[in-house]
Amino acid sequence: MLVKPLIEKKNTLFREAVSVEERLLATLRFLATGRSYEDLKFSCIISPQLLGRIIPETFHQKKRNGSK
């Protein structure tokens, strides 16, 4: 099963959603480097607060569906 439909978010009137590709990239960078959200904000151009939601969310969906 593909993970895209599980982590994809919709745009709202107030903000554009972070794309699936950006979510996966941030998660993979975090797992590969072990850098803090504060450090990742520069390479991902996503706030540390949002990275703190995106990375665990993406990781758990990938982990849950990656073993099938």
The reported pTM is 0.82
* 44, part of any domain: yes
Coil vs helix vs strand at 46: coil
Q: Average pLDDT in the 4-28 region?
A: 93
Coil vs helix vs strand at 43: helix
Residue 48 sits in which domain range? 19-66
* 52, part of any domain: yes
* 8, part of any domain: no
Residue 61: what pLDDT?
85
Report how many domains make up the chain. 1
pLDDT (tens digit, 9 = 90+) per residue, 38-67? 999 999 999 999 999 999 999 888 777 764
Residue 54: what pLDDT?
95
Q: Give the amino acid at 14.
A: F
Distance between CA atoms of residues 62 and 65, nearest Å: 5
